Structure 1
């Protein structure tokens, strides 16, 4: 029965479903991009200054404690509804794992590798480009993976403030008691998150080998 309803939905609403997927992916990709632009530089700065590292790490961990839904409703008071508050909330969610893993990645670079590079006459910029970043890259990508999976999952909440996405199917299904919509929305989000995780795991393994 539910399977038949799912088939009927796709037959009648395939274009609308693809729009939801596009909205969900677009919001998630934009959020992870901004999170990387903020989190990676902060992680690099953090590993160079230990006192600053503690402050940044504590601040990022504090962000993870605040529920995304609470951040969304708080932002509505200042920005209103739509894509902007959803994007800000997802970026705040994505920064901590990227920042923390980037910091750990640079801290894990063996001192002997840095000394060897200096012995070969490398400048600080060359050390960063040829030694530090390649060795820290697997840690950085692990942070990106964790952040992106969280962002994709949490982007369903964007529906609450009119930002669209697959959450529309989930919350419509809850409101109408439609199991087919719940399954379509929930499974779609899970598949996107799972596929993303597998792809980034592959990149991480390639970077190590």
Structure 2
């Protein structure tokens, strides 16, 4: 393996670890000597890669450092392209644009023998989704609230057109075959509910909600294991 390839693998390995990794463990992973690891880590630090630690203690990559991998296994490329094609079918304009940009970035760094997977994939996501109802509220407003972990005061219309006011804690956006839904904790129901985004008539963003989003996601997935997005939206 070339040194540049080894440095990339070293970064990739450190990026997947939350605790310091010893030089001995890194040397075993990359099949090199510990002395080589010391030199490689010193080189990464000299190039500005935020590696913390020292010999005898271990090394850790600071959070937030991002370097797109330049090498993918064929199966990894298939998985990536399947996901990008699914986004192109069901995502909104923001996600479709992002998927196209991601494909272009991946394509730019792939060798020719691997790039063929982008244009001639083995896996397909299935039939194209039907057209989605128009949204009154842009999905980007919902995404912003999810990232900020802010309450949303919404006006929601059910299937019969009856309106209700809710205060919800937005968790995720689901992209179904015929609709998009906001999955959230509903203060009115005291439970998780999903709301079709085309039936959300207005949104007012409020204060930060008193829960960790990771815990809400775990609770939401447990809830959805007992029901479906569509059923939830019908009884929201």
For the aligned pair, the TM-score class normalised by the smaller chain equals under 0.3
Looking at both structures, which has the greater relative contact order when contacts are Cα pairs under 8 Å and sequence separation is at least 6? 1
Bigger Rg over Cα: 2
**TM-score (ref. length: structure 1):** 0.23
Structure whose residues are more often helix by fraction: 1
Structure whose residues are more often strand by fraction: 2
